[in-house]
Amino acid sequence: MTKKIAYVFPGQGAQYQGMGKDFYDNFKVAKEVYEIADRVLKRSISDICFSGSDEDLKQTVNTQPCIVATEIAIYEVLKKELGLEPFAVAGHSLGEYSAMYAAGVLSLEDTFLAIQKRAEAMSSVHDGKMAAVISDDSDLINKCLNEARALGVVSVANYNSPKQVVITGENQAVDKAMELLSADGIKKIIPLAVSGAFHSDLMRGASKDFESILDKITINNSKIPVYTNVDAKAETLAVNFKEKMPRQIYSSVYWTQTVQNIVKEGVTTFIEVGPGHVLSGLIRKTVSEVNVYNVSDLETLKNTIDEIKVKQII
């Protein structure tokens, strides 16, 4: 009997030069994804993915379509090679759009149109900063954030694992929160190289700007549950996806809770689909006794398929 599998898709920060190139060179279905991205967005997303500089790839207007194109290309290959419909899907921030594509919520063309608008809207906001906080003391983190709010907007952007959150907000407020957290004994606080305060109230304008694309694309009910960032709940209805998509830009990403909720539904295997293996590490830190794989290149594709067959997951 097939065990329940969830596909998960990483977000911004997972990119690297050359991502997806081996899939493009070896699989027609992957090449077609990049070709459609190039055509829809009227620029060579494939060239940026395969030979763009680190600086090119760090620009939000490039990062977002490049990561999504790579994730969907890998997903199409994995679907072809494994022949398996997942029980559920989820994506971390940007990765939620790849998850929605995999679940049939968006067509490939509309996924790229939505992502391009999202990237343009988010990249227009240059204020603020973000930092990762490595600690499981949620009470202390909340206390420090509350104190720091005297200087401006600061909140939790991502609940990544039980021992890692990312804070976001205005520069002074984030700096103060980092100072307070450090003074209270949290030793690992890592400023992130991002262009703005993603998933904070500073992004409400970008969210409003993004809404303009929603009446120009088709949003469908999903074929399988999509666990959404804004509430960590399984979603299937088009009307709710349309409401959540703009809200996701300024809301917290409840990734820890998403993983926990997926496991509660009996999922025993996660496959991270896309560049890197960040989500695989976060999942292992959040839940135990589940199988976790990542598919980012041809080697990890082969290894994942081989192990799944050996363990008789399918």
Which residues contact residue 261 at a Cβ distance below 8 angstroms, ignoring those fewer than 6 apart? 227, 232, 233, 234
Q: Can you tell me the distance from the alpha carbon of 192 to that of 237, in angstroms, rounded to the nearest whole number?
A: 34
Q: Can you tell me the distance from the alpha carbon of 292 to that of 300, in angstroms, rounded to the nearest whole number?
A: 12
Count other Cβ atoms within 10 Å, centred on residue 251: 20
Is residue 36 a contact partner of residue 43, using CB atoms and an 8 Å limit? no
Three-class HEC string of 119-158: HHHHHCCCCCEEEEEECCCHHHHHHHHHHHHHHCCEEEEE
For 279, phi and psi rounded to 5 degrees?
-65, -35
Q: Can you tell me the distance from the alpha carbon of 168 to that of 165, in angstroms, rounded to the nearest whole number?
A: 10
Count other Cβ atoms within 10 Å, centred on residue 17: 14
Is 199 known to be catalytic?
yes
Of the listed 92, 135, 195, 199, which one is catalytic?
199
Q: Can you tell me the distance from the alpha carbon of 202 to that of 249, in angstroms, rounded to the nearest whole number?
A: 10
The single residue listed with the structure tokens 């998403």 is 258
Sheet holding 269-273, edge to edge: 234-235, 226-227, 88-91, 5-9, 269-273, 291-295
- First vs last C-alpha separation in the chain: 7
Q: Can you tell me the distance from the alpha carbon of 127 to that of 57, in angstroms, rounded to the nearest whole number?
A: 20
Q: Can you tell me the distance from the alpha carbon of 165 to that of 159, in angstroms, rounded to the nearest whole number?
A: 5
Of the listed 93, 195, 207, 252, which one is catalytic?
93
Query: Which residues are annotated as catalytic?
Result: 93, 199
